[in-house]
Structure 1
Amino acid sequence: MAVEILESCMVKPSDAATTTPLHVVWLSNLDLLVARSHTPTVYVYRRPSPDVPGFFSPDVLKAALSKALVPFYPLAGRLGQDGAGRPEIHCTGEGALLVTARADATLQDLAAAGGFAPSDELRQMLVPSAADGEDRAGILAMFQVTSFKCGGVCVGAAIHHTAADGLAALDFVNTWAAIASKGVDEAAPRPWLDRTVLRARSPPDVRFDHSEYARRRGGGPKTARVPFDSAILPMSKTQLDALKAGGGQGNKKVSTFKAVVAHVWRCACMARGLAEDDDTRLYITADARSRVRPPLPAGYLGNAIFRASAVAKAGDVVSEPLDAVAGRVSGATARLDDEYVRSLVDCLEQVVSDAAGLRKGEWVMPETDLWVISWQGLPIYDADFGWGRPAFMGRACLQFSGLVYLVPGPDGDGRLDVVVAMEPKSLARFKELFYELIKGAGVPCMAE
């Protein structure tokens, strides 16, 4: 599929009654320990029937983006550094990049060629990249609106992770869409810009073991990317219910999240052929917003996510009932209260000055491990620009092997997509086991 760039421009914040401030935004330790890159996502929209005028008009999108950047003005700035080399956001008002493009294919053609499973090719076609030119260095928000021959449209978004985590990025895109659809007066509330609410204590008081941020054997900056393939594995509500009902002993209830994570962990151990006494670590991304006291302000623009983990023997993950493995997942998240988060922020104060190799995606994660990120409960389908909600929303590409996303379906029917990146030699077997073990009975055996 060929994509032709039609226009590329910088959109600056603009409001007749407002001038955006020119200052520096201090970044918290949680901002500095995420991937130092843009997060690429795609929103797919089908043309309404009957047709409507002005479908994804570039002028409408440009004007709405300019207005959205007024309250979210740090995203119109540039990533810089202070005198000591610590990253910070310079609120310069230089703007966000907006690209319009045209594809020589239909959405159906794209689906037939592999659909929207994350891949480097998908990102290169549909999402702007900072690698595409020196003039993009430091830009925090980039978008590409691609029109397809069938009339459908894809909005590719790339928001720098240092500037915003997933929920904060969604708040911005959804605000942009609300302004395009309904006008600025009905858009979302203004974001909370002050990140000092997550400043480390003085002196630091580390009371917990934060091994997820320790340097591991074979760690440090990665020298080579481990090859992997990606796939989207859909689960219907019926399959989810069957998994939860057939995976335990007794009447113990297991949440959808914990059941699916336990199932994925088990399938990965088997597909990778791990030995029974191999240690396997499960990373989970957690959100601090509601865990700290007081909770972070609504609309917090920054990173409030952090990693938690559980470690087990592969033989136990495979042989235990699903609810027991789900209990291990619960153990990883049960202690994550205000004191734990404050302890973590204090712990990170000691490593942010030398964080290379500790940020997500900057080390080679061993084939024994998984990292699961859930988008359940996030407003990923709320970006209605005035012509309907997206038919699909997801990552454009994944960063490394062993990364898994849990993404709800767009129709509210209880469906869940499991998006997984794994070594090519293991992914095919993983996909087979994924569905076999949902309907299978009894305790599975370790792969020989």
Structure 2
Amino acid sequence: MAPTVEVLTSEVVVPAEETPAGTIWLSNLDLAARRGYTPTVYFFRPNGDLGFFAADVVKGSLARALVAFYPLAGRLGVDGATGRVQVDCTGEGAVFVSAWSDYALVDLMREFVPCREMRDLLVPPTPAPNPPCALLFVQVTYLRCGGVVLALSMHHSVCDARGAAHFLETWASIARGDDADAATANANAPVPPCFDYGLLAARPGPARAVLYDHPEYKPEPEPAVVDAGAAASDDYASAIIVMTKAQVGALRARCPGASTFRAVVALVWQCVCRARSLPPETETRLYSMIDMRSRLDPPLPPGYFGNAVVRTSVSATAGEVVGNPVGYAARRALAATSQGDDYARSLVDYLEGVDAMNLPRSGISRAHLRAISWVGMSLYKADFGWGAPAFMGPALMYYSGFVYVMNAAGKEGALALVLSLEPETMPAFRKVFAEELASLEVL
């Protein structure tokens, strides 16, 4: 019999103190983000503590975290005059679910891949992501072995992945008591969040300038590529593949001047093109999401909590990607990941002139790949006082052709690749990617 999950309680956790009321204006990048919830999971090994993930500690620290991150206790709303989506700071709280499962952590970690079945088991159900709706859903699932799964669904209109990691790091810091002692808090507590989304407002009319094409945000979808088949469907296979520190180092040596993310994505791009057997003349496009916090002039504050990522892309023919050394694909990836302040400001200005709340957000052609970097994020700083997560990752992939690159848990310098491909493509990808990793090991 397949393991099951039984919901024990479902309640609303409100901020521990009174929080500011009113509304929060959202930037064009917030409006252009995918309108939906982002489900993530964190797996924790039991540590023998009788108070391990005690419900009162988890809920109490969440209530205090919602004081600092008070927009998450509000609801998605609409400006009655303009129809623009905003956050209504109502203080109504976040939905908190506790559950029990007959899963053992060792089995869960062996079987887990991001998919609807795992999402439905471990992540609390969410409503339609339209106003009015709650912005944060949390589930704590206690496993029969004593381990715990912490799952979050956070509305993407409120923040991106780095903002979500900032919130979780703050919540964990409160749970383990870092804020109880001022000296400790100054040393370890995360920076306060910043909700000044006006920092990403479009420039005034005369100063507004759209200097780039921004095809990733165009209302018209890209033309279908006959040789590559139709657009990718929501039917996909997922995999989690770990690259060792040695393999990452050897790959970077093949890609002079490339960052770790670009080198890894270049290799994945090559292997995906091979696994899909794309004809050499087929256009293949690499999409990415770039965090602009430190690239703006001046940079955004360290605690900026909204969406500060922009979509970018670059294209090549499949023959170019496959027929050249991996360093070629890495140089092409550089073109999709090196944008600065002028590019971001151009995009914000462009979005001011279109319906940013109703941009196309469907999947991509099966000739293409979408790569997202979570490298260097504080994903494993979510120590609630009982140890760091044994694993974290997305609970769901939205369509085929996605790859997340992130640090691997407990393995310094190693990376975890979480990717989705067409079910018929995944076996071939696993084979060619394993061959490439083996070739890196003999260098």
**Cα deviations across residues 15-70 of structure 1 (Å, max 9, x unaligned)?**
3xxx211111101010011111111000110011xx21211000011111111101
Moved more, 308-317 or 253-262: 253-262
CA–CA separation in structure 1 for the residues paired with 2:278 and 2:158: 38
- Indicate how the Cα distance of structure 1 residues 315 and 30 shifts in structure 2: closer, same or farther if over 3 A, else same: same
Match of 2:203 in 1: 201
CA–CA separation in structure 2 for the residues paired with 1:207 and 1:39: 31
Aligned: 1:304 with 2:300: no
Aligned: 1:162 with 2:157: yes
Aligned: 1:396 with 2:395: yes
CA–CA separation in structure 1 for the residues paired with 2:268 and 2:347: 27
CA–CA separation in structure 2 for the residues paired with 1:77 and 1:255: 39
Q: 1:176 aligns with which of 167, 171, 178?
A: 171
SS of 2:67's equivalent in the other structure is coil
The amino acid of 2:358's aligned partner reads A
Alignment map for 1:267-282 (pairs within 5 Å): 267-282=271-286
Are 1:281 and 1:309, in contact at CA under 8 Å, matched by a contact in 2?
A: yes
Alignment map for 1:253-332 (pairs within 5 Å): 253-332=257-336
Are 2:296 and 2:341, in contact at CA under 8 Å, matched by a contact in 1?
A: yes
CA–CA separation in structure 1 for the residues paired with 2:131 and 2:4: 22
Moved more, 409-418 or 339-348: 409-418
Match of 2:16 in 1: 14
Unpaired runs of 5+ residues, structure 1, are 442-448
Match of 2:92 in 1: 94
Match of 2:413 in 1: 414
Match of 1:138 in 2: 133
CA–CA separation in structure 2 for the residues paired with 1:26 and 1:253: 40
CA–CA separation in structure 2 for the residues paired with 1:234 and 1:376: 13
Are 1:86 and 1:353, in contact at CA under 8 Å, matched by a contact in 2?
A: no
SS of 2:68's equivalent in the other structure is coil
**Cα deviations across residues 354-377 of structure 1 (Å, max 9, x unaligned)?**
6242xxxx2131001100001101
CA–CA separation in structure 2 for the residues paired with 1:21 and 1:55: 33
Q: Which aligned segments of 4 or more residues in structure 1 are displaced greater than 4 angstroms?
A: 133-137, 222-225
User: Percent sequence identity over matched residues?
Assistant: 44
- Indicate how the Cα distance of structure 1 residues 211 and 93 shifts in structure 2: closer, same or farther if over 3 A, else same: same
Are 2:101 and 2:144, in contact at CA under 8 Å, matched by a contact in 1?
A: yes
Match of 2:117 in 1: 121
**Cα deviations across residues 393-422 of structure 1 (Å, max 9, x unaligned)?**
101111111011001112242111111111
CA–CA separation in structure 2 for the residues paired with 1:44 and 1:86: 37
Are 2:129 and 2:155, in contact at CA under 8 Å, matched by a contact in 1?
A: no
Unpaired runs of 5+ residues, structure 2, are 225-229
Residue 8 of structure 1, CA deviation: 0.8
**Cα deviations across residues 321-340 of structure 1 (Å, max 9, x unaligned)?**
11121111112223x11111
The amino acid of 1:119's aligned partner reads C
CA–CA separation in structure 2 for the residues paired with 1:134 and 1:325: 37
Are 2:217 and 2:359, in contact at CA under 8 Å, matched by a contact in 1?
A: no
CA–CA separation in structure 2 for the residues paired with 1:404 and 1:304: 20
Aligned: 1:340 with 2:315: no
SS of 2:157's equivalent in the other structure is coil
Aligned: 1:217 with 2:215: no
Q: 1:53 aligns with which of 41, 50, 54?
A: 50
Q: 1:232 aligns with which of 240, 245, 258?
A: 240
**Cα deviations across residues 413-438 of structure 1 (Å, max 9, x unaligned)?**
21111111110111110111111123
TM-score by length of 1: 0.90
Match of 1:434 in 2: 433
- Indicate how the Cα distance of structure 1 residues 223 and 235 shifts in structure 2: closer, same or farther if over 3 A, else same: closer
CA–CA separation in structure 1 for the residues paired with 2:405 and 2:234: 22
CA–CA separation in structure 2 for the residues paired with 1:404 and 1:194: 31
Are 1:242 and 1:439, in contact at CA under 8 Å, matched by a contact in 2?
A: no
CA–CA separation in structure 2 for the residues paired with 1:192 and 1:165: 13
- Indicate how the Cα distance of structure 1 residues 260 and 135 shifts in structure 2: closer, same or farther if over 3 A, else same: closer
RMSD (Å), alpha carbons: 2.1
Are 2:231 and 2:364, in contact at CA under 8 Å, matched by a contact in 1?
A: no
**Cα deviations across residues 267-307 of structure 1 (Å, max 9, x unaligned)?**
11111111101001101110110111111012111100111
Are 2:283 and 2:315, in contact at CA under 8 Å, matched by a contact in 1?
A: yes
SS of 1:147's equivalent in the other structure is strand
The amino acid of 1:388's aligned partner reads G
CA–CA separation in structure 1 for the residues paired with 2:194 and 2:233: 36
CA–CA separation in structure 1 for the residues paired with 2:115 and 2:431: 21
Alignment map for 1:354-369 (pairs within 5 Å): 355-357=358-360, 362-369=361-368
TM-score by length of 2: 0.91
Aligned: 1:26 with 2:29: no
Match of 1:444 in 2: none
Are 1:374 and 1:407, in contact at CA under 8 Å, matched by a contact in 2?
A: yes
- Indicate how the Cα distance of structure 1 residues 311 and 37 shifts in structure 2: closer, same or farther if over 3 A, else same: same
CA–CA separation in structure 2 for the residues paired with 1:14 and 1:387: 23
Are 1:42 and 1:393, in contact at CA under 8 Å, matched by a contact in 2?
A: yes
